[in-house]
Structure 1
């Protein structure tokens, strides 16, 4: 029997976590979609769900958001939890002219200053009065991310946030997500196809293929036999994964910014 708690739960139930899912399973038309999946997200933590096409990643995200009801399992969410959701894609009809400002305000009123603030946080404030149809794929992903920030969320739920972004810009998207996590102190649960794209940003990785194949830190998951059986290799050919120490960091444009204290970075 599935239990979805909407009423406030004792603090001991979540123990500081934003959400906690246990034994999540889903059957649709006799087909197993998810089986006995456990997942939790804490404030300030980036949890990434990876897996092949058809693994149930987006379905699991929808269940965590309360948009779909599983067949079995238990889901606890912190009372009053504010969630910012970024869908994998939104198609805007070319025959319906709409500006970024109007698109951002769909579903609720939003002051212009607030729209400018969140667009500036993701680096596309200049697009406020541009037609949505005129923006690039990478710009649209940033607009969707900005829209998710309007609620000043405790939890960001991101479905393929680098969808439609060229390879050179994908790393910048994940740097941006990590920076927003630090700024808001929010938790992040993110769906992605490829582990190598989220190596630097993720704190925890769940490798999903209807069930949890393996879970842990990105560098550990990339060498796990279950992950290697699914993807055939720890990283795609030509992509290096390494750990090093240095005395600088990179801003959202990839430029080097010197730090006084050496920090550890996984690339």
Structure 2
């Protein structure tokens, strides 16, 4: 299977603290891969490395040349003193054909918000607008960093349902960081469990039975998430590989003191050219 992004032996160290340790992962065509793990595990840092925002200290990340990427940040803080409307925000810094704009407006059901200032939108409305903006360039890969973190449970359910519909109908790949474990298990096709290194990876039904996953989240959580398995999870795993040589680090996780860059408040342009960092 053709890989859109490949990370090999990625290591990131900040202030003498290891944030990512020898992480290897592939994102393939039609993949839906969700990165999960406790706070401070390096999830957002891995996402930034995969997108080319941050160069690893060791290892390398390769992106398929010309890959079109749509990015949904963790959050966006709108300045109330700059009354930019949703419609203007969608077309800002982008040349958008009206047909494509109409498509994403209908797809994400944001028409009632088009003439509202960004600053007055609810959390759910804003996340739909950010998703719509990410879809405007007809991406082959949609990347989301904790997209439902600031939503209530109703908003989370609605957003993940919409995301699953986009994934299915657009025939694209999705790469996501999320802490909404029970909701993730009902939509994603593959899960990467991270605690500075790859603890386990595969289909949700397999991961929830992995001893390392159970030791990280506890047997009760593993049992709860196993009950959320999606009917579509008969699809084969995409052949992700990982190394268990550092597995003991996953068995007794403790809060990590380092800054891992878990928050992303801007909308940078995704790097879409092949990159290799020594």
Per the shorter chain, which TM-score range? 0.7 to 0.9
1:61 match: 47
Q: Structure 1 residues 185 and 238, CA, compared in 2 at 3 Å: closer, same or farther?
A: closer
Question: 2 CA distance for matches of 1:157 and 1:140?
Answer: 16
Contact preservation (8 Å) 2:35, 2:191: yes
Q: Secondary structure at the match of 1:54?
A: coil
* TM-score w.r.t. length of structure 2: 0.78
Change (3 A) 1:234 1:45: farther
Aligned-pair RMSD on alpha carbons?
2.1
Deviation at 1:215, TM superposition (A): 0.9
The aligned counterpart of 1:151 is 137
- Give, in angstroms, the shift of residue 238 of structure 1: 7.8
Deviation string 1:199-218 (CA, Å, 9 cap, x unpaired) is 12111100011111111111
Counterparts of 1:61-80 in structure 2 under 5 Å? Answer: 61-80=47-66
Output one character per residue of 1:41-89: Cα deviation in whole Å (capped at 9) or x when no partner: 1121100000111111111111111111001112221111000011101
On the 8 A contact 1:116/1:125 being kept in 2, the answer is no
Question: How big is the shift at 1:171?
Answer: 2.3
How far, CA to CA, are the matches of 1:45 and 1:137 in structure 2?
Answer: 27
Residue 168 of structure 1 deviates from its aligned partner by 2.0
Aligned to 2:275: none
Q: Secondary structure at the match of 1:230?
A: helix
Provide, for residues 76-121 of structure 1, a one-character-per-residue CA deviation record: whole Å limited to 9, x for no partner. 2111100001110110112221100112222223345533321221
Unaligned runs of 5+ in 1: 1-14, 245-263
| Counterpart contact for 2:200–2:212, Cα < 8 Å | yes
- CA distances 1:173-223 after superposition (whole Å, capped 9, x unpaired): 222212111222211100001321111211110001111111111122223
TM-superposed CA distance for 1:37, in Å, is 0.7
Distance 1:243 1:82, change over 3 A: closer
2:119 pairs with one of 133, 149, 160: 133
1:38 aligns with 2:46: no
Contact 1:235–1:241 under 8 Å retained in 2 = no
Deviates more, 1:20-29 or 1:46-55: 20-29
Q: Following the alignment from structure 1 to structure 2, what is the Cα–Cα distance between the partners of residues 184 and 46?
A: 12
Q: May I ask how many residue pairs the two structures share in their alignment?
A: 233
Tell me the TM-score normalized by structure 1: 0.81
Question: Could you say if the C-alpha distance between residues 234 and 155 of structure 1 is closer, same or farther in structure 2, counting changes exceeding 3 Å?
Answer: farther
- What residue is the counterpart of 2:151 in the other structure? 165
Match of 1:206 in 2: 192
1 or 2, which has the higher strand percentage?
A: 1
Which stretches in structure 2 are left out of the alignment for 5+ residues?
234-278
Q: Could you tell me which residue of structure 2 aligns to residue 180 of structure 1?
A: 166
